[in-house]
Structure 1
Amino acid sequence: MPNAAKLFAALGLAALGWIISDMIKPLVPFSVDFGYFNYVNACIGVLMGWLFLGPRAGEGVTSAINNGVTSAVAMVIVGVLVQGTNEMVRLSFARRYDSPIEAIAAIFEKSIDYGLILWDLQLILTLLGGAIAVALVVEMAGRRWR
């Protein structure tokens, strides 16, 4: 059922996903065509906000902060897996893999490689601070518009 908390969570995490995507681009050490990178990560933010953060609004400030951090971590994990899968598909069309099992294993290898790029203090602090701010706004929206 749509409500204000889900809407605020979806929009807030989408904006956070977009900002974090822009912060990741200079950290990538090699030349990459990012394509729809920002849009994909913003859509992941919408899904995490609507399905995970929004329904948990109204449980208190401490719970909101915990849910915000958890949703940010989930957003990063899903984003890294999606980007790893995208890279695996790209390499599959270039016939880099001999078997489907090798291609599936490559998803996790690529995801780990992408996850290591995210170990930047400014990126982590922005992600956590933004997630907490979004969660507090969602908590206020959940209390205001029940």
Structure 2
Amino acid sequence: MPTTARLIAAIVLALLAYLVSDQVIADMPEETDPGYFFHVNVVLGLLTGWIYMGQRVGNGLVPALNNGLTGMAVMVLWALFVQGAWEMFDRAMRNRYGGPFDALLAIFTLSIEFFFQIATPAVLVPLVIGGCVAGLLAEYAHKRWS
């Protein structure tokens, strides 16, 4: 059921995904082609905010903060998995793997490599602050318009 809290959570997480993606691209070498990096992460932010965070509002301030932080973590985990799978498919098209199990294992190893690339204060601090803000704004929207 569409609610204002779902909409606010989706918009704030999508904005957070865009801002953090911009920071991640800024930390990468200049020759890196972002491709659909921004688009995929923003869509994942929208979906996580709408599906995950939007249905867990209405319980108070501390649960709102927990909801925002958990929603941010879910968004990051999905983004790491999807970006790892995308990179694996790109490498698989160039015959870099010996078989399908090597390719499936590569998704997780690439995701872990991507995590260590983004595990910097310049990326993690905005994620934590943005997750808290998303949870608080979704809770406020629920109390205001429900």
| TM-score bin (small chain) | over 0.9
Pairwise CA RMSD? 1.0
2:118 aligned partner: 118
Partners of 1:61 and 1:50 lie apart in 2 by: 19
The correspondence of residues 134-145 of structure 1 with structure 2, limited to 5 A, is: 134-145=134-145
1:7 aligned partner: 7
**DSSP-derived class of the 1:31 partner:** coil
1:70 aligned partner: 70
Partners of 2:81 and 2:31 lie apart in 1 by: 20
Unaligned runs of 5+ in 2: none
Partners of 1:59 and 1:31 lie apart in 2 by: 46
1:92 aligned partner: 92
Partners of 1:123 and 1:92 lie apart in 2 by: 29
| TM-score between the two structures when normalised by the length of structure 1 | 0.96
| TM-score between the two structures when normalised by the length of structure 2 | 0.96
1:82 aligned partner: 82
Amino acid aligned to 1:90: D
Amino acid aligned to 1:3: T
2:50 aligned partner: 50
Partners of 2:68 and 2:56 lie apart in 1 by: 10
Partners of 1:120 and 1:99 lie apart in 2 by: 34
Q: 1:82-127: per-residue Cα shift (whole Å, max 9, x none)?
A: 0000000000110111100000001011111100011111211101
Percent of paired sites with the same residue: 37
